[in-house]
Amino acid sequence: MGYDFSFYMPVNILGGKNALEKNKNIFSSLGQRCLVVTGKSSAEKSGALGDIKKIFDELGIEYEIFNKITENPLTTDCLAGGKAARDMKADFVVGIGGGSPLDAAKAVCVYAANPHIVDDGIYTQSVVHTPLPLVLIGTTAGTGSEVSGVSVLTRTNGRKQSVSGKNYYAEYAVADSKYTYSVPYNTTVSTALDALCHAVESMFSPRADFLSQRFSLMSSKMLFPIIEKMIKENVLPDEAERDTLYNASLYAGFALNKGGTGFPHGMGYALTEDYNVPHGKACAVFLPAYLQEAKKANPSLYNSLFREMGTDFNSLKALIEKFCTFDFSVSEDKAREYEKRWETLKNFKNSPTDFNNHDAYDLIKHIF
């Protein structure tokens, strides 16, 4: 792999304390009418919605709030958001929230500008018109959706599926970790584990390169000690630790953009769809198995990762097992159904070894 790398980051990232207030001039350049896409309450709880309303009132920008986005956002709700944006003749969209509202806001921009795309057509139909400009304001430290060209939606058949490419990047990401301070314990740990999965999975992906692996290493080094403290001591991070988690989630997003995700994400989606397991926790439970494959494929990179994190495999595995407990089991029929469904799972090809659907069946049976 050597030192070859390429880096594409079309998002203008405005980061740091009070980044929204400091950069409020960006909004006037985007237009006079805005649809604000949010979840049920996180935009308000985080303080970001209050801040944006104040700025819009000051700048004379008209806005409507579309707060119908649920966790694991539905294509149908994004379609409705697109219609709402068209109906109010929005010039641009602001997405506020964790990965769910941010991913949804990306899709809203595509649906709004492309009325020929309906229902799940976002996965198959061409984007003919440039999506509405988008500003993203993250309120969790996890997905890195702010900086990725990826939107993970739930199809009308109940399956999670991602859609990606140049139409799914925001114009601006306002990255102020203070909006993550209100996230409760379980979501804080789960989202931090999601970021760690992004860093680690992308690091051993066949698509990773020298620079993306540096982002992965930097992110893992920042995340691990805080994750360890949160799980071992059952405590929330302090504000400085929250700042570190948030920045690390963005660096993992840079790495993810290049390497993509491996089998923990592909398999994790099923646990979320069928058992309502939060995304980060659903992926993290498969991370130890992924690391064992990574060790076979690239032992020196694997050693660098653990050196940077300042831990070893068994300690990491024990930590994940302490947090990732479940109150359900996966039946034999269900495990066989997954084995069949995962015959062509593209995340396997994006993993470091030839781990396949039969190995995935064994892993599911072993864990659940």
**Contact present, 84 and 64 (Cβ < 8 Å):** yes
Contact of residue 20 among ligand NAP, Fe ion, none (CB under 5-8 Å per partner type): none
With binding defined as CB under 6 A, does residue 131 bind ligand NAP?
no
In this structure, is the dihedral angle defined by the CA atoms of residues 213, 175, 265 and 104, taken in order, positive or negative?
Answer: negative
Chain residues 222-261 in contact with ligand NAP, contact rule CB under 6 A = none
Q: What is the amino acid identity at position 352?
A: P
Query: Of 51, 77, 103, 243, which one interacts with ligand NAP (CB under 6 A)?
Result: 103
Chain centre to alpha carbon of residue 228: 21
Q: Which is nearest to 49 in space by CA: 32, 37, 61?
A: 37
The upper half-sphere exposure of residue 87, i.e. CA atoms within 13 Å in the direction of its Cβ, equals 10
Chain residues 141-160 in contact with ligand NAP, contact rule CB under 6 A = 142-145, 148, 150-152, 160
Q: Residue length, the chain?
A: 368
Which one of 15-23, 54-62, 186-194, 294-302 is the stretch in contact with Fe ion (CB under 5 A)?
186-194
Contact of residue 140 among ligand NAP, Fe ion, none (CB under 5-8 Å per partner type): ligand NAP
Contact of residue 347 among Fe ion, ligand NAP, none (CB under 5-8 Å per partner type): none
281: tokens are 């926790």
Nearest approach in angstroms of CB 278 to ligand NAP is 7
Chain residues 4-43 in contact with ligand NAP, contact rule CB under 6 A = 39-42
Q: Which is nearest to 107 in space by CA: 98, 28, 97, 118?
A: 118
Q: Which is nearer to Fe ion, 82 or 138 (CB)?
A: 138
Nearest approach in angstroms of CB 151 to ligand NAP is 6
> What mask, x for binding ligand NAP by CB under 6 A, covers residues 280 to 299?
x-------------------
With binding defined as CB under 6 A, does residue 276 bind ligand NAP?
no
Q: Which residue has the tokens 């990401």?
A: 173
**Contact present, 349 and 202 (Cβ < 8 Å):** no
* C-alpha to C-alpha distances, 180 to 47, 120, 297, nearest whole angstrom: 9, 31, 36
**Contact present, 251 and 161 (Cβ < 8 Å):** no
Interface size with ligand NAP, residues (CB under 6 A): 34
With binding defined as CB under 6 A, does residue 279 bind ligand NAP?
yes
Angle between helices 357-367 and 263-275 (to 10 degrees): 50
With binding defined as CB under 5 A, does residue 194 bind Fe ion?
yes
User: Which residues are near ligand NAP by CB under 6 A?
Assistant: 39-42, 45-46, 71-72, 97-101, 103, 139-140, 142-145, 148, 150-152, 160, 179-180, 182-183, 187, 191, 194, 279-280
User: Which residues are near Fe ion by CB under 5 A?
Assistant: 194
